[in-house]
Structure 1
């Protein structure tokens, strides 16, 4: 039941952001369009990575052995891509940030709430990457929990940043 709600939420978030960005926030500048596109792809990649937590949660909570085996097999394969996806999404966000700092910042103002939430989400992204690096080097219970909490906090902050209108 919960996995269906979570899947629907992911689908709604991706489709909703596509509709919002491409139909309600169009821009004339090709750089802004590139920025929007890179942010869109990065968001999808980050959501994909965050979903790993919920896959592991389902593995722990489900009583059905076949479901556990399928999810465990998928997660073993996917975890090989987790770091690569995070780095790719981060590079896309760096491009998005630079373009917006130079094109949107002077127009909107560097102290606008959208920009401030962007700065905050970028800082949490860096902390998430650092926590992931520490967890990768030595997976203690504290490092695992810290990485998960920071990643979820980052996800909430970047979603707030995304939803704030200009």
Structure 2
């Protein structure tokens, strides 16, 4: 049951972000459209990484052996890409941030709610990356939980940022 809710939530988040970015916030500026494209790519890549938690949750909670085996194999493969995806997504988001600070910071002011929510999301992204680095260097229960909690707070911050109106 929970996997259906999680799947629907992921699909809705991507669809809503596409609709919001491309239909409600269209721009004539090529640079702004590039920033929107980078934001969309970043959302998708971060969702891929955040969904690792969901995969492990299903592995722990399902009693169907075939599902556990299939997801364990998939997660083993995906974990090899987890750090690379995170670094690529971070690079993409930094490009998005730079473009939007350049384009909108002067117009809206650097203390506009949209930019402030972006700063907040960026802070939690840095905390999540640091927690992930610490976990990669030496795994422990505390570091695993810290990385997980910081990733979920980052998810909330970037969803907030995504839907704050300009």
What is residue 84 of structure 1 aligned with on the other side? 84
Is 1:53 matched up with 2:66? Answer: no
What is residue 16 of structure 1 aligned with on the other side? 16
Which segments of 5 or more consecutive residues in structure 2 lack a partner in the other structure?
none
- How far 1:64 moved relative to its partner? 0.7
- Normalising by structure 2, report the TM-score: 0.98
For 2:119 and 2:8, the matched residues in 1 are separated by 29
- Normalising by structure 1, report the TM-score: 0.98
Per-residue CA deviation, residues 22-50 of structure 1 (Å, 9 max, x unaligned), is 01100111110000000100000001100
- How far 1:109 moved relative to its partner? 1.2
What is residue 140 of structure 2 aligned with on the other side? 140
For 1:128 and 1:148, the matched residues in 2 are separated by 8
For 1:68 and 1:75, the matched residues in 2 are separated by 10
- How far 1:125 moved relative to its partner? 0.4
For 1:119 and 1:99, the matched residues in 2 are separated by 14
After the TM superposition, which residues 91-130 of structure 1 pair with which residues of structure 2 at under 5 Å, given as runs? 91-130=91-130
- How far 1:9 moved relative to its partner? 1.0
Runs of 4+ in 1 over 6 A off after TM superposition: none
For 1:15 and 1:118, the matched residues in 2 are separated by 20
After the TM superposition, which residues 149-164 of structure 1 pair with which residues of structure 2 at under 5 Å, given as runs? 149-164=149-164
